């Protein structure tokens, strides 16, 4: 989908296949539909798993504590630094943390519609919705102290494909620039 959007922006109408483009105000905004709907309507299946409803299987994470859970790469120095930053700027402790590599992290990844071994993105899992990549970063910013909620408000107007482009470039090079540790620091 992103490729077709980029092609529509780069190539003149006569150079690309005939497509119907939505209006500009719709084209750059991803609909606010919870990612967990896919898991609710059609449970994720893998070899070795019978039909597993990952929303139901992970509902216990939100029964006693409804705070969102930030999933992060536990061996990435950048990610560990990000967790420390969020903890330092979240005195009310509105966010919980879990490493992507942990068993709970893998289950929550599946709940979010991602592969259990996908450590390519930070993920924020709320009771009814999951956020990935730049949307997860903006959601985290909403939970921490000033001025980050206001900054998140303005950054949401940057088109998603641009935000995710920058996010992916940092995420794909995070070990090169920031290194990795042998163990998760949390």
Q: pLDDT tens for residues 114-157?
A: 999 999 999 999 999 999 999 999 999 999 998 999 999 999 99
pLDDT value at residue 37: 33
* Residues 15, 96 share a domain: no
Same domain, 9 and 93: no
The rounded distance, in Å, linking the Cα atoms of 92 and 106 is 26
| % of residues, the chain, pLDDT over 90 | 58
Please tell me whether residues 43 and 79 are part of one structural domain: yes
Tracing tokens 């935000």 back to the chain, one arrives at: 163
Q: For the residues of the chain, what is the DSSP string, one character each?
A: -HHHHHHHHHS-GGGS---PPPPHHHHTS-----THHHHHHS-B--TT--SB-HHHHTGGGGTS--S-EEEE-TTBHHHHHHHHHHHHT-TT---EEEETTSHHHHHHHHHTTS-TT--SS-EEE-SS-EEEHHHHHHHHHHHSSTTHHHHHHHHTTS-HHHHHHHHHHHHHTHHHHH-B-SS---
pLDDT of residue 146: 87
Q: Could you tell me which residue, 106 or 32, shows the higher pLDDT? A: 106
pLDDT at position 33 is: 41
The pLDDT score that the predictor gives to residue 186 is: 65
| Whole-number pLDDT of residue 142 | 94
What whole-number distance in Å separates Cα of residue 9 and Cα of residue 12? Answer: 8
What would the mean pLDDT of 34-45 be, rounded to a whole number? 37
Q: What is the pLDDT of residue 57?
A: 84
> What is the pTM (predicted TM-score) of this model?
0.70
pLDDT, the chain, mean: 78
- Could you tell me if residue 104 is inside a domain? yes
> Is 184 inside any structural domain?
no
Residue 7 lies in a domain: yes
Q: Are residues 3 and 91 in the same domain?
A: no
Owning domain of residue 79: 32-178
Q: Are residues 163 and 124 in the same domain?
A: yes
In this structure, the answer to whether residues 61 and 46 fall within a common structural domain is yes
Evaluate whether 50 touches 182 at the Cβ level (below 8 Å): no
Q: Map tokens 């039909």 to a residue.
A: 51
Is 113 inside a domain boundary? yes
């Amino acid at each position: 989908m992103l490729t077709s959007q980029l092609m529509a922006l780069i190539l003149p109408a006569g150079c690309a296949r005939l497509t119907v483009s939505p209006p500009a105000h719709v084209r750059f905004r991803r609909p606010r539909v919870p990612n967990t709907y896919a898991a609710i309507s059609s449970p994720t299946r893998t070899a070795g798993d019978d039909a597993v409803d990952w929303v139901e299987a992970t509902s216990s994470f939100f029964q006693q504590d409804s705070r969102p859970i930030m999933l992060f790469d536990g061996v990435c120095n950048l990610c560990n630094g990000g967790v420390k930053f969020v903890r330092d700027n979240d005195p009310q402790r509105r966010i919980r943390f879990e490493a992507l590599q942990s068993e709970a992290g893998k289950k929550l990844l599946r709940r979010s519609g991602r592969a259990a071994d996908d450590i390519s993105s930070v993920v924020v899992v709320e009771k009814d919705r999951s956020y990935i990549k730049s949307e997860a970063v903006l959601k985290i910013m909403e939970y921490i102290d000033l001025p980050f909620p206001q900054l998140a408000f303005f950054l949401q107007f940057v088109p998603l494909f641009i935000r995710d482009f920058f996010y992916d470039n940092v995420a794909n090079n995070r070990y090169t620039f920031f290194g990795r540790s042998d163990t998760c620091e949390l």
